[in-house]
Amino acid sequence: MSRKRIQNIKKQLKLEARPAALLLSSAKEVLRSRDTFYPYRQQSDFYYLTGIKEPGVALLITAKNKPQLFVQRRDSRTVLWEGPPPNLQPTAKKLGAELVVSDNLNSDILKALRKINHLYYQNDTGTVAQKIAEKLFALPSSKRSDYPIHFSHSDVLLEPLRVIKDSGEIKIIQKAINITSVGLEHISALIKPGVNESDIKTRLENAFRESGAEVAFPSIVAAGRSAATLHYSAHMRRLQRSELLLVDCGAEYELYSADITRVFPVAGVFKNELLLRLYDIVLEAQYAAIEAVRPGVTTGKLYNAAARVLTRGLCKLGVIRGPWQKAFKKGAYRLYFPHGIGHSLGIDTHDLSNLRNNNKALLKEGMVITIEPGLYFAKKTGQIPACGIRIEDDILVTRDGAKILSRAIPKERTQIEEFIKNAG
């Protein structure tokens, strides 16, 4: 599949009037403190085109020549501490690329860029590709004619490819979703008064790893008023019987992410009538947005479908005053629904696309997106306690509409209550 993706890049480069190339490189190892590094995670575009998870590798694609994989030769000291370099010859063969084992990565890549006029590159700080671009920017005018003089971000080439998922990618995303479901099952027995948010978060993320996955993003486990903070991270509160617990999480499997949000009553059942009604409003809003999914539809239509339901519900509860149609036109709901309807999902949790915060973006068959309406009350409002309710599913845009990839994860009120009741 990576070979086909590289061929698609070459086709785009051939459309250019002058010689063009794409340069991508492995992610830089990120320093945690002093001489300790964070666990390595590959740069997403580079992984998409190569399937390589190791650092210290670069990929150069031109319109005419064979793609080149550049890997830094390791000296004896590096081998002692980090081990021998990976054998990338089989990967190069699979990609239809030439493997170049280099003593000086930057120098060899610069040589390969001679006579290239337009360079597409990733500008991730500290990567080989970004350093190469900086060297080219600094060349004196007398030498510029031999090297690229036009530069563009690699997203220009990669976004149209990455936004549409092939069948293999969809299977991997489905696996990530299934593992996320397993993680939620593991925490069901912990959803009860007195348990600390951090204990639930730890158990959830351990379950992902026990299932052969990683954590796609820092999980949000937020009880009561904590859930009104969209990216809550403290995880210090103990659950109280009267509260709702919001869990926003996702497993990462083979670098592809799931992204699911569910809300659970700490008491095991939805006892508070107002919280129950708010939950139903958010669920109805999500169903309305999912129903609107079609190729050719704008994300704005999905957003508005959800926002209408939220506005109507808030007006019925007396949170917003006046006719709901007038309140909707004024955007009165935005105080309680302050974010977008969703985002693209793939190798990145917020995957490469123009969908996020862009109501004019068009849906296309093969996209995988999230749909995640919510209502948030940072403080007690009337008789409504401070809380946050968000329901999020992962959706495949099909020819006829939407396929809910996360359908098996409970979200109806009765299903949620049964889920907690049957906790092992």
Whole-angstrom CA distances from 407 to 156, 394, 395 are 33, 9, 9
Residue position matching structure tokens 């939407």: 402
Confidence at residue 220, expressed as pLDDT on a 0 to 100 scale: 98
- Hey, what amino acid is at 386? A
Q: CATH 3.40.350.10 residue ranges in the chain? A: 2-158
56: left (phi over 0), alpha (psi -120 to 50) or beta: left
Span 116-127, average pLDDT: 92
Q: Classify domain 2-158 by CATH architecture.
A: 3-Layer(aba) Sandwich (3.40)
Encoded tokens for 383: 């008789």
Indicate the length of the chain as a whole number: 424
Q: Please say whether the beta carbons of 295 and 301 come within 8 A.
A: no
Residue 424 has pLDDT above 70, yes or no: no
Give the whole-number percent of the chain exceeding pLDDT 90. 84
Give the relative orientation of helices 155-162 and 2-14 as an angle to the nearest 10 degrees. 130
Residue 200 has pLDDT above 80, yes or no: yes
Span 83-110, average pLDDT: 92
Confidence at residue 141, expressed as pLDDT on a 0 to 100 scale: 78
Q: CATH 3.90.230.10 residue ranges in the chain? A: 167-421
CA 310 – CA 389 distance, rounded (Å): 12
CATH 3.60.21.10 given to domain 167-421? no
Residue 253 has pLDDT above 80, yes or no: yes
Residue pLDDT, tens place only, 294-351: 999 999 999 999 999 999 999 999 999 989 999 999 999 999 999 999 999 999 999 9
- Cα dihedral 130, 132, 138, 143, rounded to 10, equals -150
CA 146 – CA 371 distance, rounded (Å): 49
Radius of gyration of the chain (CA): 25
CA 185 – CA 191 distance, rounded (Å): 11
pTM over cut 0.85? yes
